């Protein structure tokens, strides 16, 4: 069953230099209990897509200009793109049906409140539990995400936690109301490799035991390979490839996806890393056709027009003219 369906999403930022198309005609779906990895360089629109879903775009600057975000909430299917971000519907959806782990927990946690108090606030916002019962649940959540001595730790402030512990506290807060979908925005950015593996294992374990869908946003394909079922590759605000986690490593289709893999360091690698030539165009220098064309060694004149999305098979689609042949049906 489809839990989240994003269709033709356009998110714009209105800045001094003009209108910035941060997300440009993005479409994808997430099924119940599925893990979908969203991959791409910084500035490709991953986090803006997540914030569009959550209704957390900056006021007076960001807006959903077009598209649908249909979510199967507990109370019925809703188009989140049509809801007031500050209204009661979105306030109920955030945390209750969709939880989110933000990229940098130190800036997401309030430094003047204890960890326990912040989790209790999230619990009571979406339940009728008393303060004592909510505090007990907060301690249980902290213990569940692997924080030792939860009763003592709950009374501490964020500065007393390490980066990995702060991220675990954010996971506990996001899970406080048993969401159906958890959005994790670069959950391992601020931690070392050992803690990264622990966080990913924890997310996978929590997802399985709660039958929860997970949208994992990252710039690291290795992270996606650990736990994702499907992968969405984004570049300059557009989806350039959608495929399974296995195929993205074994048979990548889009030149950008292949470039990401060629520049990926790995243990035992005997070949030199190959960087992607050129730089990402500025936000107001978007190419008229394929966004990756200026950096693509295989680009042709046709790439200067709007790129289509070709369906390779039931599991893979790619926005590239290289697949404009008799065997690729136009989606």
Whole-structure pTM value:
0.92
What is the per-residue pLDDT for 268? 63
* Residue among 164, 242, 149, 249 at smallest CA distance from 203: 164
Radius of gyration of the chain (CA): 21
Residues 19-28 pLDDT 10s: 999 999 999 9
CA-CA distance, 22 to 291, in Å (whole number)? 13
Residues 244-277 pLDDT 10s: 999 999 999 999 999 999 887 766 666 777 888 8
What is the per-residue pLDDT for 269? 64
CA-CA distance, 297 to 278, in Å (whole number)? 11
What is the per-residue pLDDT for 331? 44
Domain parsing of the chain, residue ranges: 105-178
Regions in the chain scoring below 50 on pLDDT: 326-331
């Amino acid at each position: 069953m489809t839990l989240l369906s994003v269709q033709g999403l356009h998110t714009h930022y209105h800045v001094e230099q003009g209108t910035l198309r941060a997300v440009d005609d993005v479409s994808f779906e997430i099924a119940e209990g599925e893990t979908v990895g969203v991959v791409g360089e910084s500035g490709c629109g991953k986090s803006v897509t997540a914030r569009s879903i959550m209704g957390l775009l900056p006021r007076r600057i960001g807006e959903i200009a077009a598209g649908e975000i249909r979510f199967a909430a507990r109370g019925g299917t809703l188009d989140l793109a049509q809801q007031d971000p500050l209204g009661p519907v979105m306030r109920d959806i955030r945390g209750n049906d969709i939880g989110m782990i933000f990229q940098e927990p130190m800036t997401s946690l309030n430094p003047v409140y204890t960890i326990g108090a912040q989790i209790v606030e999230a619990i009571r916002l979406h339940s009728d539990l008393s303060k004592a019962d909510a505090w007990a649940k907060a301690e249980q959540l902290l213990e569940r995400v692997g924080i030792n001595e939860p009763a003592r730790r709950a009374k501490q402030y964020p500065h007393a936690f390490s980066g990995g512990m702060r991220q675990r506290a954010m996971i506990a807060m996001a899970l406080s109301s048993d969401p159906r979908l958890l959005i994790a925005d670069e959950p391992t950015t601020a931690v070392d490799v050992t803690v990264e593996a622990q966080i990913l294992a924890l997310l996978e374990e929590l997802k399985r035991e709660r039958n929860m869908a997970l949208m994992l946003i990252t710039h690291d394909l290795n992270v996606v390979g650990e736990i994702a079922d499907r992968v969405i590759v984004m570049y300059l605000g557009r989806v350039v490839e959608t495929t399974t986690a296995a195929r993205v490593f074994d048979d990548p289709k889009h030149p950008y996806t292949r470039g990401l893999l060629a520049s990926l360091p790995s243990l035992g690698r005997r070949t030199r890393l190959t960087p992607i030539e050129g730089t990402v165009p500025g936000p107001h220098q978007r190419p008229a056709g394929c966004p990756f064309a200026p950096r693509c060694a295989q680009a042709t004149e046709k790439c200067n027009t709007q790129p289509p999305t070709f369906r390779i098979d039931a599991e893979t689609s790619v926005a590239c003219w290289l697949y404009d042949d008799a065997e690729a049906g136009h989606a």
